[in-house]
């Protein structure tokens, strides 16, 4: 399996910043954060096809890893 096939993605909608951070904290405390991408919807992404959003999330995740 590739890294992408092992990754989990959670997309939340209508979560405020605090709720979003709470989700991140739960994932961190359970050890799931390392293999999970979490994203909030935006007005822009609400108009995207899901496959395009997922592709963008993988690209952004790869960029973040490169910059660490």
Q: What is the pLDDT of residue 43?
A: 95
Weakly modelled stretches of the chain, pLDDT under 50: none
Q: Is the model's pTM score more than 0.85? A: no
Rounded-to-integer distance, Cα 20 and Cα 13, Å: 9
Strand partners, 37: 9
Q: What is the pLDDT of residue 55?
A: 95
Q: What is the pLDDT of residue 1?
A: 56
Q: What is the pLDDT of residue 4?
A: 75
Kindly calculate the radius of gyration of the chain based on its CA atoms and give it in whole angstroms: 12
């Amino acid at each position: 399996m590739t890294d992408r096939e092992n990754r989990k993605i959670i997309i939340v909608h209508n979560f405020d910043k605090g709720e979003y951070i709470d989700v991140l904290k739960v994932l961190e405390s359970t050890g799931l954060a390392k293999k999970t991408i979490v994203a909030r919807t935006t007005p822009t992404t609400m108009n995207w096809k899901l496959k395009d959003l997922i592709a963008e999330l993988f690209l952004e995740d790869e960029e973040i890893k490169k910059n660490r």
